[in-house]
Amino acid sequence: MRNIIIAGNWKMHKTQAESQEFLQHFKPLVEETNPGREVVLCAPFTALGTMSQSLHGSRIRLGAQNIHWEEQGAYTGEISGAMLWEMGVQYVVVGHSERRQYFGETNETANLRVIAAQKQGLIPILCVGETKAQRDAGETESVIIQQIQRGLVNVDQTQLVIAYEPIWAIGTGDTCEAQEANRVIGVIRALLSHPDVTIQYGGSVKPDNIDEIMAQPEIDGALVGGASLDPQGFARIVNYQ
Ligand code: PGA
């Protein structure tokens, strides 16, 4: 059985105070949500401590947005698995396209981070996806295959989430057609050795398209950026029909 996981990726949004304000509104809206759906908030590092306290006893899980592959050391600005784990973090986003585009993340460094997360008992959410130019050039499959194969070297597929996020659909309002997302996710699934890996779709997921996205047989959840910042909107996404 594949788990359904709806995760919010707050990116560089929300102070501690703003995260508290969000939870105050959001928590009651997801109390009745089908228990078969995992609800995750991937918050900035600085909000994790206060959120962890407020989420004590809640069904909402905490996620982070990066992890370094070493356990400690001279890596200014990075964060270790133990530091996240101590904060009550259970999921961590790895290899997001913004990390790849702006901060030099590669398939190889993403792979090291996935392994480090698993070693710490955290579940990595490995992000893959093609650019508009790659899609237009007919390279979608080859790019995805490379990202998956290189990203998953020596990775335990029983403790893994993958997010298919076509880069041209992220933050643009230009959602990938649900059937096309379903098709590419099928391509990803065929590359995996474990049958029950949760594969999410991400890229301009909104309250008004989540029902169609989740109706697709290959899609096991969503990784939601902009629309996860608003408690009512994100609750509607979590409570998709
Ligand atoms: P978006 O971002 O929902 O704002 O398009 C998705 C993501 O980057 O994970």
Q: What is the pLDDT of residues 98-139, one digit of tens each?
A: 999 999 999 999 999 999 999 999 999 999 999 999 999 999
pLDDT confidence of 165, banded at 50, 70, 90?
Answer: very high
Please tell me the residue having the least CA distance from ligand 1 atom 7.
Answer: 225
First to last CA, the chain: 20
Here the CATH number for the domain that contains residue 150 is 3.20.20.70
Annotated catalytic residue 96: yes
Ligand 1 neighbourhood includes 95 CB (under 6 angstroms): no
> What pTM does this model have?
0.97
Angle (nearest 5°) at CA 125 between 61 and 223 = 70
Annotated catalytic residue 130: no
pLDDT confidence of 34, banded at 50, 70, 90?
Answer: very high
Residue 207: what pLDDT? 97
Judged against a pLDDT cut of 90, whether residue 174 lies above it is answered with no
Judged against a pLDDT cut of 90, whether residue 89 lies above it is answered with yes
CA gap 67, 173 in Å, rounded: 28
Residue 171: what pLDDT? 87
Residue 79: what pLDDT? 98
- Domain count for the chain: 1
The DSSP secondary structure of 159-181, one letter per residue, reads G-EEEE--GGGTTTS-PPPHHHH
Query: 173 alpha carbon to ligand 1 midpoint, in Å?
Result: 9
CA gap 79, 61 in Å, rounded: 19
Per-residue pLDDT averaged across 156-166, rounded? 98
Q: Which of 123, 129, 86 minimizes the C-alpha distance to 225?
A: 129
Residue 42: what pLDDT? 98
Instruction: Name the percent of the chain lying above pLDDT 70.
Output: 100
Range of the structural domain that residue 184 is part of: 4-238
CA gap 126, 135 in Å, rounded: 20
